Amino acid sequence: MGLVSCNSSWWGRVTSKTGTEHNGALWQEEKSDRFTIIDQLKESEQIAILVCSKVAAILLCKSASLRQECKLETSLKQVNANEIVTTRQTCHKLVMSNSMQTIVKTEYEDNLGFEPPTYHVRSLSP
C-alpha cells in the first residue's frame, strides 16, 4: 500500500513503504522546500490580512466621515425648517396685529362717527 503526496516537485513524489526510499539529502531538501512554501504562504496571508485591515480601516473612516456629513446636512435642514416656521409665525403675528389695529380703528370711527381724539400732553414748564 503506497502513501501519496502532491505530485509537484516541491511536495515530493509517490512513495511506498515497501518501495524506494528517498535519499536523506533529497528528503531534507523537500522538507525544507515545504516549510519555505508554508512560510511564504503564511507571510502572504499576513500581508493580505494587513492589506484588508488597512482597506477596512479606510472604509470605516470614509463611512464615519459620510455619517458625519449626513448628520450635518440633516441638522442644517432642521435649522432651515425651524427658521422658516419661525419667520412664518412672526409674519403671521405681524399681519394679524396690523389687521386687528385697522379693524379696531375702522370700527371705532364707524361707531362714533368721528375720528378718535388726539391727546396732547400739557407742558408743565413755563
Report in angstroms the alpha-carbon separations of 31 from 16, 103, 105, 123. Answer: 17, 106, 109, 120
Q: Which cell numbers hold the place of 11?
A: 511536495
State the Cα–Cα distance between residues 39 and 32, nearest whole angstrom.
10
Domains contained in the chain, number: 1
- Residue 100 in any domain: the answer is yes
Mean pLDDT in residue range 67-81: 90
- Residue 102 in any domain: the answer is yes
- Residue 49 in any domain: the answer is no
- Residue 34 in any domain: the answer is no
- Residue 126 in any domain: the answer is no
The pLDDT assigned to 86 comes to 93
The pLDDT assigned to 116 comes to 56
Digit-coded pLDDT (tens) for 8-32: 443 344 444 444 444 555 555 666 6
For residue 91, give its domain range.
83-110
Global pTM exceeds 0.85: no
Which residues fall within 8 angstroms of residue 19, CB to CB, at 6 or more apart?
A: 2
Comparing 115 with 13, which gets the higher pLDDT? Answer: 115
Does the CA dihedral 117-118-119-122 come out positive or negative? negative
- Whether the predicted pLDDT of 74 surpasses 70: yes
Percentage, residues of the chain above pLDDT 90: 13
| Exposed e or buried b per residue across 12-47, where buried means at least 16 C-beta atoms within 10 angstroms of its C-beta | beeeeeeeeeeeeeeeeebeeeeeeeeeeeeeeeee
